[in-house]
Structure formats: structure tokens, C-alpha cells
Structure 1
Amino acid sequence: MVGYKFMGKAHSNAYRALPMFFPDAPAGPELKVLCGRDAAAVEQARVQFGWEEAETDWRRLVERDDLDLIDINAPSDAHKEIALAAAAAGKHLFCEKPLALSLPDAREMLEAARQAGIKHMVGFNYRFSPAVQLVKKLIDEGRLGQIYHFRAWFLQDWILDPDFPLVWRLQKDIAGSGSHGDLGAHLIDMARYLVGEFSEVIGMSETFVKDRPIAAEMTGLSAKGDKNAPRGPVTVDDATLFLARFEGGALGSFEATRFAAGHRSTNSFEINGSKGSVIFDFERMNELQVYFTDDADDVQGFRRVLVTDAPHAYINAWWPAGHTIGFEHTFTHEMLELFTAIHEDRQPSPNFVDGVKCQEVLEAVDRSIAERRWVGLEEMQEA
């Protein structure tokens, strides 16, 4: 695994939990090598996370015959180079989102994976929430009817302080984009998963704080630095909003921001159909608000559905009825899909195709902002 901070910890926990809670899964992964540039820090993480070895050069990983899967959760600028080399060496790939810094890079990664005949997966973990699986079931079974609206918002406030240090997520050459690619990518994938493909988009964005103190130290979403230190430019968006039309006729609205005071990580969506509606808020991930138009008039209204009991997805593997699960469990469910797909000799879902499709929407929104117009997704096929 390349990367050992926020996502590295989440992935390590998922790998370790998989054989304990899903004993019928095809295989329990062997955590062989953890890789990072800081030798002392990666060794400390190796011990804490339970890996056998530590490494500082990812190139040595792809040369090893005893490794079958490479997990990439390093910053976005490292994804392409590692993925191409690993694919050429015949390693299966798991890569965090966004898949790449650009659409051409994402397509190159997909093509390399296809040519190598390997299994490939991209990290959209929110799909694997039991409540989201219930939404998917309601839509696929036609219980919400024709879908009219998908509205989604991912709101954070961790960089609200203008003196918060200039972390790598605020630098375009490393991150690719700001709230749009980091938070908005999850909303886009969720929309594609539940409602279908995008037809056209139009958006706007803003960078509210133009420069920040250079970071002295950073880990995950936290950082240390002196507010009087030299400042560097913020080269990504702080907030991006866009509207969309879907191929199936539904309308969509999307908001991703890191400047929503009081919102630590509000990841929510609402879907309205001809027969009903659903509302999901990841801060209350064990609940789904559901409304059906055919309820009797005297009891109509949104009902709170707890997804902590059977028959909801994944729940039987965890705790007794009524006992909740959390953020970390979505990653275990994600890894379950990965290892099951490898065992069944099929591509996991979501995979690099979904990563490319998400990148198409991200860049279509960017183009619409730059050119102040609606952009059709067919235009991105030529990009």
C-alpha cells in the first residue's frame, strides 16, 4: 500500500476487519508492505497498522513477485505513475479518488489496466453505506417511480480560518482541484450510481482565501504552521456549485464547499421521484428518510428507516439488530467487493471506468465555469 495517513489508516483497518467480520469472503488479505517517503513515519505506521514491512520507494513494490495488489492512497499527483507501473507488472489496483489529475491521465490509467488484464477499483466508499444500498434497491425496483430530481451537497469548514496552512489539498499541481474534485467527486459518483449518466452541466466556483501560510507539517485534514510564515497561493477552488441534466431526464444540483461554518463533513443527497422521495445524510448514516406518495392521507410524511437490521446490505456481518455502524465500515464493505470480484474473475464496481466518467463530469464543470456556458458531456468525449 502506497500511503499511510488518513486513507492509509482507513484502508488498513478495512483489510484487517475483512476476515474477522466477513469470514466467508474469498480470502483475507496479507498486509505485506506499507510504503511512504518518510522512513521514520512509515515505520511507525507499519507497526500501528499491522503491516509486515515498510518501504520508502514504491518502485520496489511493483518489482516484487510476492505482491498481487497495489493500493494507492498517496496524493493525487502520484496516482498515474504508480498505477501505470503496477499495471505493467501485472498487479491488481485499488486507487483512491479522484483517479487522476486530468481526464487524459485517467483514460491512460484505464487503458493500461485494460491492456494488462488486471482488476481495478476506484475508492468511492460512500456507495457502500447500507442506506445507499437501500436507495439503489428502491430505484431499481421502481418504488420511487420516475426520478425527477437529484440534489446533493458536501459541506465542510476545516479551512475556514484564513491562516490555516497551505496543505497539499489546496495546491492544484498535487491535488488536481479543491472541493470540486475532493468532495464533489463523491457526489458525482453517487449521482451516476443512483440516477445514471450526466447529459450536460453548468457551474460556478470561488476561491475565497487566495493565499495561506506555508505548512510546516500536515497529516490527513490537519496541519501545523506559523500564521506569520511566508504565504503561498491557493490554486484550487474553495467552493464549486453546479447544475446538471441527466440522460434519463432528471435535474440535478450539486454543492461542494470547505467554507460552510458548522459543517464538519455534511455529505447528503435528496432524490425526488413520481412515487416517492428519499433523503440521506451521512452524519446520520444508519438512517434513511423515505416518503411514498401512495401512503394513506392521514399518515403521509417522511418516515425514518433504520438500516441496522436485516435485510439491509452488510448488516448481518456486524452487530445485533439496532446497533449502528460508522464511517470505517464503508471501507470494509468496499474491500469486500474488491476481493470478491478478484475471486469471481470480474471487475469490481466502481472501477477505473467510473473514475474516468467522474473525471469527465468534473472537467465538464470546469469548462463550463471557464467559458460561462452549459457544457454537454459529449464534448468531453473529444477532450
Structure 2
Amino acid sequence: MSARRSAASSPSAVRVAVAGLGWMGGLHARCYRRFAEAYPELDVSFSLAVAASRAESLREEAERRWGFERTVAAPGAAATAADVDLVSICTPNSEHADLAVSAANAGKAVWIEKPVGRTLEEVQRVHDAVQRNGTVLVVGHNYRSSPAVRELRTRIADGRIGTVEHVRGHYDAGFATDPAAPLTWRFSEAQAGGGASSDILSHLIDLAQYLNGPVAEVVGRLRTVHASRPLPAGTGGHFGGRALNEVGEVDNDDIAVTLASFANGSFGTLNASRVSRSGENALVIEIHGSLGYASWNSEHPNEFLWRDRTMSAVSKEYVDAGMPEYGRFLPGPGLGIGFDDVKLIELGELVKLLRGMPSEAATIDDALRVARVEDALRRSTASGSWIAVS
């Protein structure tokens, strides 16, 4: 049974597999368990069928903590399991494209963390497989699911700040500031693809295009600040782990600086750093219009700055139950939903796609648009010139 048919005709029996059982895989599992409570009107629940990890300890935890029916060591076996309708892909980046193509070819719906692929070619391959098989794929560009961002998108589209003239954004993360942090897979182009340009700038690119339309042309630079790091004593992700005395080369970027021209004629400055000391995980985006201004900071997710032509100054507004999705979790402003809730909203948008309903999900088309901007940025770094986004 395909996920599309399951969600439409047998909503209580959507069976899922989760490939990759680190922090993000666990978050996907929690979202599946919470879904029916948050979205009762969609009348969908999920059955946790298969969990995949090469680490035996994580497989044991998946059965004990989240109640998966069975576990396997090979992510590919989970992605193509005959009794599964929907596959979560939460593995390291090097496995994303192959798993997504396999799942799509097997007729599964896919919920995949970004990046969909390490290169534009890999993302295009996934796009082609999804289109060829008529499946649904949703990408974990979770910031667009924040109720504050959704509210700003509506207001901007309604023309309340006039014509957009400039988008200014930065994503400052501090997980790689310490040069003694171990050389995990995120610092390898072969395993991760780009560094800051793929890991975090991709979120900012998606958000800028979600709020202001497609980027048409870019010029920019990528830089590696810490050219070597100690080899890891084990596996790890953003937050590393124990290090050995030997060192290895970092061959992807720590900082990405981009000047963008949007298709609507506005300009943008979109920058990202994983070695920033200004914040732990701050995605900030500002939209400057001819009649007003909007701004959102991911470190303060339940509020935003706003000014339109009726106002004499910029004001801070809190998200409330009258804005998109917030009321599913809390009745009034100032209480604040968290990261897990936003991922649950993302899953809700996936279910809407499966039902053929209007959805704000980031699809494979959105992922391809982001990958094309990233590819243009890499080519601009090599040439020193403005590069049109293909």
C-alpha cells in the first residue's frame, strides 16, 4: 500500500520507517507519536514499523523508547521495506540521495532532512526519481514552518510592507568555533557536501525564497577558517565528541558570504558561519520594503519585528493563536512553542500533501531551487563573477 493511498483511504495505518537514529531520527519518531493529538482533524496516525541504524545501542533504544516493531542495521533495507508507506531519512548527508531515490522507486513517501544531496547533481537525481514515481517528498527546512514566519509570509504577500527592496539575512552558529573540536563527517566534502554553505546557509536560502521568491543571480565567497582538526575517537555530528592526537584536513567551508539578486528585482545579502561567536544558533532574516519592515530571529522564535505604513516605529509582536498553527499547541501569546513543535507542523504539511490539500511544505522542487543557488555560489567562488542561478 502506498503512503498516498494509506493516508487517504486507511488513515489509521500509515506505517513508517526511520533511517538514522541520532538526535534528528529520534525527533522524527516523537513527531509521529504526537501527530494524532496535534492534528485530530486530519484523522491520521502513524505506526512505527522499522528503525535503521548501524549502531546496535541506537537500535535497542528505538525499540525501548519509541516502540518500533523491529530494527535493522542497513538504512537501505528500511527505505524499501515492503510494509512501509513513509520513510524518514535522518542519516549523514552522504546517504541521503541514494536512500531517497530507493524509497521513491519503491513507491514510498519521503520525509528527508536537508540537504537532499551533497551536490546539485544528486538533488536533481532525487527530483527525477520523485517525479518519475509520482511520490511525495518533504524536506526538513523547518524554519519555514514557524508560525511567526508563516504569518510574515502572509503579510508580505498581501503587500503590507510594499515592494520588497532588500532581504538581509545571516545564520550564525557556534558549533565549530573550537579548532580542537573533532573532525566529524560534517567537515568532509565527501561525506557532507558543503560546510556552512550547505548545512546552515541552505536554511537561509530556503527562507529567503519562501518569503521573497526565487534568487536569480549570486556572487560570493566561501572560506575555511580552521583548515585541520583532530580526528574523532568515534562518531559525531554538530556537537562532536572525543578527539584523537592525529589531525585531518577540513575540506569544506566554515563561512559563506553571498550577495543575491532576486527575480523580482530586489537584492539580498545572505551570509552564514559555523564558527561565529555572536550566537549559538541564530538565523536572522530582515525584509525591507518600500512601506515597511519585517524581521525574525530563530533564537526568539515566538516573536517578530514589524512595521507597515500605518505605524510610526518598528514594534515587537508575539505569535498568538490567531496566527498559523500556533493555536494547535497553546492558547495565547507569550507562552512559546519549541523546535519539536515546529517539526511536528512540518509533518502536518507533509500529510496535507498526501491528502492533496494546500500545503506550505518544502518539497523536492524547493530543495532543487536551494541546490541551484548553492551551486551558483560555489561557481562564483571559483570564478569571482556573478553567476546566474540555473
The alignment partner of 2:167 has SS state of strand
Is the aligned partner of 1:246 residue 2:262? yes
Shift, 1:15, TM fit: 1.6
Contact 2:189 2:252 in 1 (8 A): yes
CA deviations on 1:14-60 (whole Å, 9 max, x unpaired) are: 22221112211241111111111112322223422332221111232
Structure 1: how far apart are the matches of 2:135 and 2:106? 10
Contact 2:255 2:274 in 1 (8 A): yes
Structure-to-structure mapping, 1:127-276, within 5 angstroms = 127-226=144-243, 229-276=245-292
Q: Equivalent residue for 2:328?
A: 317
Structure-to-structure mapping, 1:276-355, within 5 angstroms = 276-295=292-311, 300-307=312-319, 309-322=320-333, 323-344=335-356, 349-355=361-367
The alignment partner of 2:199 has SS state of helix
Contact 1:150 1:270 in 2 (8 A): yes
Structure 2: how far apart are the matches of 1:262 and 1:49? 36
Structure-to-structure mapping, 1:360-371, within 5 angstroms = 360-371=372-383
Matching residue's letter, 1:328: D
Matching residue's letter, 2:298: F
Shift, 1:348, TM fit: 6.8
Aligned residues: 372
Q: Equivalent residue for 2:140?
A: 123
Is the aligned partner of 1:94 residue 2:111? yes
Structure 1: how far apart are the matches of 2:363 and 2:376? 20
Contact 1:26 1:343 in 2 (8 A): no
Contact 1:37 1:56 in 2 (8 A): yes
Matching residue's letter, 1:194: L
Alpha carbons of structure 1 residues 203 and 301: separation in structure 2 relative to 1, 3 Å: same
Structure 1: how far apart are the matches of 2:355 and 2:260? 37
Alpha carbons of structure 1 residues 173 and 289: separation in structure 2 relative to 1, 3 Å: same
Is the aligned partner of 1:359 residue 2:371? yes
Shift, 1:201, TM fit: 0.3
Structure 1: how far apart are the matches of 2:76 and 2:189? 24
Structure 2: how far apart are the matches of 1:192 and 1:63? 32
Contact 2:36 2:43 in 1 (8 A): no
- 2:45 is aligned, of 25, 28, 32, to 28
Shift, 1:63, TM fit: 4.2
Contact 1:180 1:362 in 2 (8 A): yes
Structure 2: how far apart are the matches of 1:63 and 1:285? 36
Listed as ranges, the gaps of 5+ residues in structure 1 are none
Q: Which moved more, 1:36-45 or 1:180-189?
A: 36-45
Matching residue's letter, 1:318: F
Structure 1: how far apart are the matches of 2:156 and 2:263? 16
CA deviations on 1:146-203 (whole Å, 9 max, x unpaired) are: 0001111110111111110001110000100101101000000001111011111000
Structure 2: how far apart are the matches of 1:206 and 1:280? 26
The alignment partner of 2:41 has SS state of coil
The alignment partner of 2:299 has SS state of helix
Structure 2: how far apart are the matches of 1:178 and 1:251? 24
Structure 1: how far apart are the matches of 2:259 and 2:104? 36
- 2:92 is aligned, of 75, 99, 102, to 75
Structure 2: how far apart are the matches of 1:144 and 1:348? 21
TM-score of the superposed pair, with normalisation by structure 2: 0.92
Q: Equivalent residue for 2:6?
A: none
Structure 1: how far apart are the matches of 2:128 and 2:360? 16
- 1:16 is aligned, of 17, 22, 33, to 33
Shift, 1:313, TM fit: 0.7
Matching residue's letter, 1:367: R
The alignment partner of 1:230 has SS state of strand
Structure 2: how far apart are the matches of 1:76 and 1:351? 17
Structure 2: how far apart are the matches of 1:363 and 1:69? 29
Shift, 1:347, TM fit: 7.8
Matching residue's letter, 1:313: P
Structure 2: how far apart are the matches of 1:104 and 1:64? 26
